[in-house]
Amino acid sequence: MLYDAHGTELASGVNRREELQDPTAHAEIEAIRAAVQVHGDGWRLTGCELVVTLEPCAMCAGALQAARIGSVVFGAFEPKTGACGSLVDVLRAPGALYIPEVRAGILEGDCQALLRNFFNTLR
């Protein structure tokens, strides 16, 4: 879910990689694409907050920086591909052009359960 600076929902996204056969169709990317269509400042999502169940990967973290998203909140850590501190930290890398606030591990157990159910239905 992507919220504007006032807490109003701008857009949401779900992982559609398998459905679309598109490796970039992660939930974060889908939400960003939808949000820029309704946000008043074009592609700049400054002051907006992204809330996701799983720690963003490097591709999504790069997109969050490019969109100038103000903060990222995620529940479950992803040790294999997480790019907000687990495997690498794209968002807070030295020399990063834009560094959003990151809040991690929020409702971690609940998010892990949701993810388990989601991936079990894909298999």
18, 19, 28, 101: which is the annotated catalytic residue? 28
> Is 9 one of the annotated active-site residues of the chain?
no
**Structural domain containing residue 91:** 2-122
Position 115 scores a pLDDT of 87
Per-residue tokens: 73 = 């909140």
Average pLDDT, rounded, for the chain: 94
* Angle at the Cα of 86 from the Cα atoms of 72 and 6, rounded to 5 degrees: 5
CATH code, domain carrying 81 = 3.40.140.10
Strands 49-54 and 9-11: unpaired
Residue with tokens 């939400």: 31
Domains in the chain, number: 1
CA distance 96 to 100: 10
d(CA 70, CA 99): 8
The residue whose two tokens read 């002051």 is: 47
Question: pLDDT tens-digit profile of 39-86?
Answer: 988 899 999 999 999 999 999 999 999 999 999 999 999 999 999 999
What pLDDT, on a 0 to 100 scale, did the predictor assign at position 122? 66
pTM over 0.85: yes
Residue 1 pLDDT exceeds 90: yes
